[in-house]
A = this chain, B = another copy of it.
């Protein structure tokens, strides 16, 4: 897995949407200015997220984006896969499986690569956007900082 800027920005945008979930939508401009992300680049990423059914959008004046599911039901792994592809360090889990079967001399190597991908998946597929928001909140609280809300 390599997390590119696309994936990182996508996650930050979704996290921003998670914070206002159920209360309001956020326009592209709002997200990009508050998260300090290049607007037009973010726009592309939002399209990807939309096609993956992670966000919904409303066109026209007062339009904007919102999560298509509640933050508890969107995992980080899901987002990264949508934007940056498979979590595995090479190819994807199935391809690695094939390699393990194919050449005995390399089996051990690809087994360990599969272990890595499974470890990554174990973490990212069990962390939701809500989990992350809460953790950020927790950290901020423990540091005595405040005002991280969008609303």
Contact = CB atoms under 8 A, between A and B. Distances in A.
Interface of A: 1-3, 8, 11-12, 15, 76, 89-90, 100, 104-109, 111-113, 115-116, 119-120, 122-124, 127, 131-140, 143, 145, 148
A2 B86 CA distance: 11
Nearest to A135: B108
A112 to B, nearest CB: 6
Contacts of A119: 119-120, 122-123
Contacts of A12: 106, 109
Contact of A104 (B1, B8, B127, B143): B143
Contacts of A1: 1-2, 89, 116
A119 to B, nearest CB: 5
Contacts of A100: 139
A76 B115 CA distance: 13
